[in-house]
Amino acid sequence: MKTFVRGALVLWVLLFTSMPVKAEIQGVTAFEPGEKLVYVLKWAGVPAGDSVMEIVEGDWSGDTHLYRVISTAKSRSLVDLFYKVRNRYETHIHPLDGLTRKYLFDMKEGGKREERLLIFDQNELSVTRILRKKNDVQIRDYEIPLYTQDNLSALYALRNESLHVGDSLVYRVFESRKNWELVIDVIATEEVEVKAGRFRTVVVHPKLKFEGIFRRKGELHVYMTDDHWHIPVLMKSEVSIGSINAELVSFTLGGGEKEISSMLPQERGH
C-alpha cells in the first residue's frame, strides 16, 4: 500500500518534471507570472492526491524579475491514513534565457523529512547542493555543463520548444548529484478530454533514467496542448505498481485567460 500511495502522490514531480532542457539558450515565451495549473493524481482511476503548479514574480536578477514556479503535491484525507504527503518544490527561472538559478525541495512523506537547495551559477558552470536532514547539513559543489536545468525548470523549458512529430530532443539536467543527458521523443498528436476541457495535444515520450522508484521501469506519455502554451493536460504512466495518471482539473494563464486555441467543444455526456 505504501508503495502504491507514494507512486501516485509524487507522480507529478518524479515523472513529469524529470524532463531536462534542450542544450541551447532560449528565452521564456510560453508562460508568465499569474499562471496556475491544478491537477488530480489518480492510481488505477482512483483520486489519491492533488497537485498545484503556479508562477509568481521572484527576486530581481539584473533589471528583471525571475519567474518563481511553485509546485505542491499532497495526499487526500483517506490516503493520509496510510502515507501522508506534503511536498513543495520551487524553481527560479530567468525569463531571458529560460535557465534555472535556484531549486528548492521540501519533502514531507510519511515520517521522512528532507530539505534540499540547489544554487546554480550558469556563468561559472557550477551548482551548490545543500541538503538538510534532521540536524545534519551537507554542502557540496558540482560542475555542470552549459544550459543545465533542475527537475522542475526542465518541464517549463520544454514548453518553450516548437514540438513536431518525429522530433527527438536532447536535454541536460542536474539531479541526484549527477549530470544527465536524456532524450524526449515527440511521437503523435491526439485529442484528449480531462476535467479542464477537451484539447488538441502533442504527445511526448521521455526516456527516464533518473534513479528512483520509476527508474527504467514502465512507460510514460505526456499530453501537452498543441499550441503556443504547451500546457501539460494529461500524463499516463504504466509502471510496476500499476497505472498512474495526472489530469488537469483547471487552469489560468498569466494573462488571466481560461480558454486557449487548442480547446475543442466537449463531447456530450462529459
How far is 103 from 209, CA to CA, in rounded Å?
A: 20
What phi and psi values does residue 204 have, to the nearest 5 degrees? -120, 150
Whether 121 maps to a domain, the answer reads yes
pLDDT value of residue 210: 57
Neighbouring CB atoms inside 10 A of 157's CB total: 25
Segment 98-125 mean pLDDT: 94
Neighbouring CB atoms inside 10 A of 39's CB total: 29
- Range in 12-16, 164-168, 213-217, 266-270 the model is least confident about: 213-217
Segment 88-102 mean pLDDT: 96
pLDDT value of residue 171: 80
**Percent residues over pLDDT 90 in the chain:** 63
What phi and psi values does residue 11 have, to the nearest 5 degrees? -50, -50
For residue 185, give the nearest of 215, 150, 161 by alpha carbon.
161
Segment of 2-16, 166-180, 244-258 carrying the highest mean pLDDT = 244-258
The 10s digit of each residue's pLDDT in 173-185 is: 898 899 988 788 9
pLDDT greater than 60 at residue 258: yes
pLDDT value of residue 223: 97
**Count of structural domains, the chain:** 1
- Range in 99-108, 203-212, 224-233 the model is least confident about: 203-212
Whether 270 maps to a domain, the answer reads no
What is the DSSP code string of 3-34? HHHHHHHSHIIIIIT---EESS-----S--TT
pLDDT value of residue 215: 42
Amino acid identity for residue 121 in this structure:
D
How far is 78 from 59, CA to CA, in rounded Å?
A: 38
pLDDT value of residue 15: 47
Segment 135-162 mean pLDDT: 92
218 or 205, which is more confident: 205
Segment 163-189 mean pLDDT: 89
Per the document, the length of the chain is 270
Query: Could you tell me if 253 and 196 are in contact, meaning their C-beta atoms sit under 8 angstroms apart?
Result: no
Segment 107-132 mean pLDDT: 94
pLDDT value of residue 212: 40
Indicate the SS3 state at residue 154: helix
Range of the domain at 29: 2-264
Average pLDDT, the chain: 86
How far is 156 from 104, CA to CA, in rounded Å?
A: 16
Q: Which residues contact 264 (CB under 8 A, 6 or more apart)?
A: 191, 197, 198, 199, 200
Whether 183 maps to a domain, the answer reads yes
pLDDT value of residue 116: 94
**Percent residues over pLDDT 70 in the chain:** 84
pLDDT greater than 80 at residue 144: yes
Whether 269 maps to a domain, the answer reads no
84 or 170, which is more confident: 84
Whether 65 maps to a domain, the answer reads yes
Whether 101 maps to a domain, the answer reads yes
Residue 179 vs residues 41, 151, 222, 243: alpha-carbon distances, Å? 29, 11, 23, 29
Whether 209 maps to a domain, the answer reads yes
257 or 211, which is more confident: 257
Indicate the SS3 state at residue 98: coil
Please, which pLDDT band fits residue 147 given cuts at 50, 70 and 90?
Answer: very high
Please, which pLDDT band fits residue 16 given cuts at 50, 70 and 90?
Answer: very low
What phi and psi values does residue 120 have, to the nearest 5 degrees? -95, 130
How far is 59 from 201, CA to CA, in rounded Å?
A: 33
∠ CA 210-19-100, nearest 5°, is 105
